[in-house]
Amino acid sequence: MTINAASFRELRLDHLSRDFGTHNALKDVSLTIGKGEFIALLGPSGCGKSTTLNLIAGLLPATGGGIWLDDKRIDPLRPEERGFGMVFQNYALFPHMTVNK
């Protein structure tokens, strides 16, 4: 089942956490984003901004908490089932490929 993220009313991060080994990269983050709201994640390097986005997109699993789209928990879903996209800032994600490939 694929989620239609464009029709959501509320995206909620509920006590979200992510550990990398013994390093706690994100701890107990709760955030609610309503339909039509525009937010920005700001902070110094290493504070968890990219980790948060990767968790929402499903590219990393959470080690605690949950991600909800309206009344549907989406963190157990695979990235392609969540209905979200992510554009990476670094164009060198696949350095062996060109635009033509």
Following DSSP, what letter does each residue of 15-28 receive, concatenated? Answer: EEEEEETTEEEEEE
3-state secondary structure of 7: helix
Mean pLDDT of the chain: 87
Q: Which amino acid is at 67?
A: I
The closest alpha carbon to 63, from 11, 10, 3, 15, belongs to 15
| CATH code, residues 6-93 | 3.40.50.300
What does the domain layout of the chain look like in residue ranges? 6-93
pLDDT digits (tens), the chain, 101 positions: 566 666 779 999 999 999 999 999 999 999 999 998 989 999 999 899 999 999 999 999 999 999 999 999 999 999 999 888 787 776 655 666 666 65
User: What is the pLDDT at residue 86?
Assistant: 80
Handedness of CA 48, 25, 9, 78 (dihedral sign): positive
Using DSSP's 3-state secondary structure scheme, residue 93 falls into helix
Q: What is the widest separation between alpha-carbon atoms in the chain? A: 43
In this predicted structure, what is the pLDDT of residue 87? 78
Residue 83, Cβ density class (10 Å: 0-12 exposed, 13-18 middle, ≥19 buried): middle
Report field, pTM of the whole predicted structure over 0.75: yes
Give the pLDDT confidence score for residue 100 in this predicted structure. 66
CB 18 within 8 A of CB 72: no
